[in-house]
Amino acid sequence: MSTVVILGAGTVGTMLANKLRKALPHDWSITVVDKDDEHHYQPGYLFVPFGTYTPERVVRSRKAQLDRGVDFVIDAVAHVDPVHQQVRLASGRQLSYQWLIIASGTVPRADQTPGLLDERVWRTSAFDFYTLDGAAALQDALESFEGGRLLVHITEMPIKCPVAPLEFAFLADDYFRKRRMRHKVDITYVTPLDGAFTKPVASAALGDLLEDKSIRVAPDFAISHVDPEKQAIVGYDGRELPFDLLVTVPLNMGQQFIIDSGLGDDLGFVPVDKHTLRSQISDRIFAIGDATNVPTSKAGAVAHFEVEHLVKNLEAAIAGEPLPSKFDGHANCFVESGHGKALLLDFNYDTEPLRGTFPASKVGPMKLLGESRLNHIGKLAFEKIYWNMLLPGKPLPVPTEMSMAGKIPAGHRS
């Protein structure tokens, strides 16, 4: 029997398994491996600290999201042997494969920042929201916060959903205004980048929005350690930023088994051809989603676009043919900005996020790099789309490749 093994039953692993089950012959075995049966709607983590979502709302069964005919194994991955085409699981079980797809995502590693896990700060004055338990703990911290210095901090790039820290800063501004205590809270956005975002046009637009909301920016901040005694983050350049509440995005890394198996870079991300998603280590391995080193956002929309290409490329690889489908790095994401509004970003490897409009079937054009209520509605509607269309592998009315339709080129006036 021919076998495809997918490591990871998160967003992209689930989408891919369901798409492949429809595309491949019935006698092909498709096995998905993950450590537990909890599928998390990770975009929902952002809303948990503000009480908009409950933790229970974002969790469902992994197995229930997989189509009939997809085998699901609950176990952790220990090691991959690309020479003998085998996966060793933590239980000792061995899985053989003809084709392996690594879809194991990223892991926030708070342990990589000295001092962060010190009991004097961790989950007392320093929190994350990139884990569900962290987001839930942060909700309690925000409710009891009486004012002071709030730092929204990114340790290093790349991170999963690179706009999420910005969204948190915007929503925190909204949250404290609604509680009529915004004047008591000094919000600073601390980033290793030289601005609010990775690309110039978007960085300028988002930077202006931060300024409009009286959110300070501390750019080019490379953290050395957290000083629990001073309740401060310390940069390699000697800067110290004190906090009363620290909301940090820890270093994001790939899974440990990728590093241990020699399949990843220093951060544990799998080097792949950025267009075909084939591993640079083995022709029998592909990687997709957050697990790769492709130079675009680690986000669900990107994973959705990648799946369309990988299915075609895997079919070609199985047939011994050249890989026909070329992923262009297309990323599309909403940015919650508070007060019932959001922005929309649309870009790829070669084109940065630009102003203009995004053609959206049935709902009309959506504003790019500008706030609108329609964008906010789109952000909230994504939850139902995620569970009912994205994961099952149903077609979405969004082009896989980025289009310049509606976009205003950089340097042009609207």
Residues 246, 354 within the same domain: no
Residues 224 and 116 both lie in one domain: yes
Residue 326 domain flag: no
Question: Does residue 384 form part of some domain?
Answer: yes
Locus of tokens 């930023």: 241
Any residues with CB less than 8 A from the CB of 206 and at least 6 apart, and which? 166, 196, 197, 335, 343
**Residue 365: pLDDT band by 50, 70, 90 thresholds?**
confident
Task: Render pLDDT for 12-51 as a digit per residue (tens, 0 to 9).
Answer: 999 999 999 999 999 999 999 999 999 999 999 999 999 9
Would the pTM of this model clear 0.75, i.e. be above it?
Answer: yes
Say whether pLDDT at 178 is over 60: yes
Q: What is the pLDDT of residue 24?
A: 97
Question: Which CATH number fits the domain that encloses residue 64?
Answer: 3.50.50.60
User: Looking at residue 361, what is its pLDDT?
Assistant: 66
Which residue in 109, 138, 139 sits closest to 123, CA to CA?
138
Specify if 81 maps to a domain. Answer: yes
Task: Give the whole-angstrom CA distance, residue 350 versus residue 168.
Answer: 28
Q: Taking the mean position of all CA atoms in its chain, how far away is CA 81?
A: 27
Query: Domain residues for 390?
Result: 331-408
**How many CB atoms within 10 Å of residue 57?**
13
Does residue 101 sit in the same domain as residue 113? Answer: no
User: Within this chain, do residues 127 and 247 fall inside the same structural domain, yes or no?
Assistant: yes
Residue type for position 210: L
Q: What is the CA radius of gyration of the chain?
A: 21
**Tens digits of residue pLDDT in 185-235:** 999 999 999 999 988 999 999 999 999 999 999 999 999 999 999 999 999
Indicate the number of domains in the chain: 3
Residue 324, in any domain of the structure: no
Residues 263, 255 contacting (CB under 8 angstroms): no
Same domain, 336 and 207: no
pLDDT, tens only, 77-95: 999 999 999 999 999 999 9
Kindly report, residue by residue over 110-157, the tens digit of the pLDDT: 999 999 999 999 999 999 999 999 999 999 999 999 999 999 999 999
- The rounded distance, in Å, linking the Cα atoms of 274 and 117 is 35
Element (H, E) at 314: helix 300-318
Query: What confidence tier does 397 reach under pLDDT thresholds 50, 70, 90?
Result: confident
Pair of tokens at residue 220? 């080019």
Query: Is position 207 within any domain?
Result: yes
Is position 113 within any domain? yes
Mean pLDDT score of the chain: 97
Domain C-terminal end among 251, 270, 289: 251
Q: Is 173:211 a contact under the CB 8 Å cutoff? A: no
| pLDDT (average), residues 261-269 | 98
Considering the domain architecture, whether residues 346 and 281 belong to the same structural domain is answered as no
> Residue 347 domain-assigned?
yes
Same domain membership, residue 114 and residue 101: no
If asked whether residues 276 and 335 sit together in one domain, one would say no
pLDDT tens per residue across span 108-118: 999 999 999 99
286 with 205, same domain? no
Name the band, by pLDDT with cuts 50, 70 and 90, for residue 414. Answer: low
Q: Distance between CA atoms of 144 and 152, rounded to whole angstroms?
A: 17
> Do 245 and 268 belong to one domain?
no
Q: Of the candidates 210, 168, 402, which has an alpha carbon nearest to the alpha carbon of residue 296? A: 402
Q: DSSP letters along 359-385, please?
A: --TTT--EEESS-BHHHHHHHHHHHHH
Does residue 94 lie within any of the structural domains?
A: yes
Task: For residues 132 and 230, give the distance between their C-alpha atoms in angstroms, rounded to a whole number.
Answer: 28
Centre a 10 Å sphere on the Cβ of residue 31 and count the other Cβ atoms it contains.
17
The reply to whether 99 and 116 lie within a common domain is no
Cβ neighbors of 8 (< 8 A, separation 6 or more) are 32, 33, 34, 102, 103, 104, 105, 289, 291
- Same domain for 400 and 278: no
